[in-house]
Structure 1
């Protein structure tokens, strides 16, 4: 159901700010954590999600999708899971595999239970309490993954029935505290009611209290933007209410069209960029029931973008233009820019250099990373070439346009990372087939 609304003014914002001011500092976090309304990774670097949802619960065989999503520049994937109440249950072993796929493709994993969708209106929907039962049951697959995984308690946990969505705040607080008591130290993501769109402002008006109820102060709120958010004022008003109050907010789902109206995707993306708010588009592929137009690629083919896929990945304020990979995949915080140069480092040269490294390997496959660095003058484009020593080949790549012929590989910049200032660097990555290997020579040429 679509209900029109306007954003309340300074009164609501002032109330939220005053409530937030009472919140005590968070406990020390072991992975992702919230500080002053922003999300930080385990290296204490701010992280802004730029990703898409993948319907793993309904298409568990489409595991190549993780590499495909990464190949278009995403830094996050929101993975649909089922607790078994509405669809086939994803057990702990399957969830552990999903986490491994996220890590192999250098993606941050937002895992969500989809069975709660529309509780109160959908007879088959699970409660938040039942979703927590599921998380506790698969806990062993998630403990120790706090650097890479966020736990989205339940998707769109209430419909539009006021008798049920009015308990969103107390139920969400109870769910968060049950997870904390069970030993979950992850950042928790809480979806809005009203099929995720919060037209009743139940989440907006109660978010500060729910945040304060989390003993770790490590909860992020998620709004889904479809037909309710079809004007710039509605998008801007809602997101700014949270940012002004110092409360963490993300756009957990949105599309370019929907059965309940025409969301303003351009404003959603531009406002998220200007405010430093994360967004996750719906969805990679496999949509049905009349919303097939929300597929970003045709039939899970990463090389066949739809118009929606072109928009979200390659359009203004899109994923390709704005995503930054989580620093946890670098293995350590970046160097202090005030440190003096290491005298053993080779002198900077004109053109560019490329450093090749292996960052992960498994049977018959591996993940590589290449860091491209401009020399003593700026460059406007680059190309890296190498030859694999043992017949290896590249199956997918991200942040570069990669081609291969036999064992020879060529990687060129994409539109957003070709221009580098003197001494500046960028990275691209790839998934390789065969045993992990480092070429004897890697060559970089620059424009």
Structure 2
């Protein structure tokens, strides 16, 4: 969490759209991973983080909070840890992971000592944070379906935020060279708020530094994000780049010109973006606590908004399928082709026929083959099943598919939901993917969606 709320102007968010992502085929994924703009589980099911930050390093005895956060409706908990540079050290990583799993929560683990590096003299560097993770590798390897590693909290202050790109790229490469295959969460500079747009403008560079292409970028929204326009603009920028984004921390509008939490919740729900509210209790600024003295029966105004609000936890959170017993075995690609596109992959127009829309995109392409993805989004009402159809114009042929039952009749393709992703809340999305062959031309067809 930011120890002070930075008031700063936000420049216009204008970026060139680039829908292509160099995502590895699904057989390269281990546990939680990225598909397009989504975080998905090992089985291909989209997972949208809905959770709460817990300041564990300062209150290590509050272990009952994991159960209380779950009972509040969360599917994720972001756990504050210390590397020993400023706080901690948190040497109970294995215990924390066990608590998350025991309470059926996805665990986002973060090193807090990096907060404000470059401006805060006592802060740890991202490189030092990686050393902490490497020291606890035994507690983390093998838990890739349950744990997301947030390398360092708010790793750069307002002094020289431009150093963020090189430092973050180096940290990601070091994590991978140390053998970590986890989904990595990447915080922005400017005490997490990225008001200089450094993360926004350099996210692709950091993405390309990851050999696994398995990152989710995290924006912290406090006083800089005091209007729906500013919030939408930042979200739009990452959507245009087709890069995954989550709101890793945010507060609420408790004074005029403070953070517009209701816009964050509404926009995140409409776009299928994850969020993690700050914090369960014990914050140095009590206005941002969701409970009084860690008592789940004493929700603050903010807590009521997060837990029981229209776009809050109980209304929108869905438990990870790794805990629910839903564990489909989708057909996934059997090879990891070297991606060297000779043409620019494209995206079909979004189209719908009844109750849902579908967007077809080419996310990887190589000579003779490509990986496609279709995003299905419910309309203004919930749906309990969907069917997507399209017609290939250039003789493309699907050989493998996952997260949907896909049948072809010549050029005509029909895809129906799997057992675990047919029910979608209003505005919610899911994706399915496939591998196909092409020759000569690979135009993107218009995909039509109908709710069952």
Q: When the two structures are superposed, what TM-score results if normalisation uses the length of structure 1?
A: 0.70
Shift of the 24–256 alpha-carbon distance from structure 1 to 2, 3 Å rule, reads closer
Give the Cα separation in 2 of the matches to 1:96 and 1:102: 10
Give the Cα separation in 1 of the matches to 2:201 and 2:9: 17
10, 17, 23: which one pairs with 1:5? Answer: 10
Summarize deviations over 1:29-56 as a string: whole Å, max 9, x none.
Answer: 1100101121001221000000000000
> Is the CA contact 2:21–2:242 (under 8 Å) kept in the aligned structure 1?
no
SS in 2 for 1:178: helix
Counterpart in the other structure of 2:86: 86
Q: Where has structure 1 moved over 6 Å in runs of 4 or more? A: none
> Is the CA contact 1:255–1:294 (under 8 Å) kept in the aligned structure 2?
yes
Matched, 1:95 2:89: no
Counterpart in the other structure of 2:299: 305
Counterpart in the other structure of 2:311: 317
Matched residues, number: 325
SS in 1 for 2:100: helix
Structure 1 unmatched runs, 5+: 337-423, 425-447
Shift of the 260–117 alpha-carbon distance from structure 1 to 2, 3 Å rule, reads farther
After the TM superposition, which residues 36-435 of structure 1 pair with which residues of structure 2 at under 5 Å, given as runs? 36-91=36-91, 94-162=92-160, 165-257=161-253, 262-288=258-284, 291-333=285-327
Deviation of 1:330 (Å): 2.4
Give the Cα separation in 1 of the matches to 2:282 and 2:100: 19
Give the Cα separation in 1 of the matches to 2:228 and 2:219: 15
> Is the CA contact 1:50–1:278 (under 8 Å) kept in the aligned structure 2?
yes
Rg (Cα) greater in structure: 1
Deviation of 1:8 (Å): 2.8
Give the Cα separation in 2 of the matches to 1:186 and 1:41: 12
Give the Cα separation in 2 of the matches to 1:174 and 1:29: 21
Give the Cα separation in 2 of the matches to 1:251 and 1:260: 21
Shift of the 5–62 alpha-carbon distance from structure 1 to 2, 3 Å rule, reads same
> Is the CA contact 1:226–1:261 (under 8 Å) kept in the aligned structure 2?
no
SS in 1 for 2:263: helix
Give the Cα separation in 1 of the matches to 2:68 and 2:126: 31
SS in 1 for 2:186: strand
Shift of the 216–99 alpha-carbon distance from structure 1 to 2, 3 Å rule, reads same
Give the Cα separation in 1 of the matches to 2:294 and 2:233: 35
Shift of the 4–260 alpha-carbon distance from structure 1 to 2, 3 Å rule, reads farther
Shift of the 301–204 alpha-carbon distance from structure 1 to 2, 3 Å rule, reads same
Deviation of 1:335 (Å): 9.6
Deviation of 1:258 (Å): 7.3
SS in 1 for 2:80: strand
SS in 1 for 2:220: strand
Summarize deviations over 1:417-440 as a string: whole Å, max 9, x none.
Answer: xxxxxxx9xxxxxxxxxxxxxxxx
Give the Cα separation in 2 of the matches to 1:116 and 1:301: 29
RMSD after superposition: 1.8
Give the Cα separation in 2 of the matches to 1:242 and 1:96: 33
Give the Cα separation in 1 of the matches to 2:54 and 2:21: 38
Summarize deviations over 1:296-329 as a string: whole Å, max 9, x none.
Answer: 0110111111111000110121111100000011
Shift of the 171–199 alpha-carbon distance from structure 1 to 2, 3 Å rule, reads same
Q: When the two structures are superposed, what TM-score results if normalisation uses the length of structure 2?
A: 0.70
Deviation of 1:208 (Å): 1.1
Shift of the 34–147 alpha-carbon distance from structure 1 to 2, 3 Å rule, reads same
SS in 1 for 2:299: coil
Shift of the 254–151 alpha-carbon distance from structure 1 to 2, 3 Å rule, reads same
Shift of the 90–180 alpha-carbon distance from structure 1 to 2, 3 Å rule, reads same
Summarize deviations over 1:355-374 as a string: whole Å, max 9, x none.
Answer: xxxxxxxxxxxxxxxxxxxx
SS in 2 for 1:304: strand
SS in 2 for 1:252: strand
Counterpart in the other structure of 2:24: 25
Structure 2 unmatched runs, 5+: 1-5, 331-422, 424-452
Give the Cα separation in 2 of the matches to 1:269 and 1:29: 29
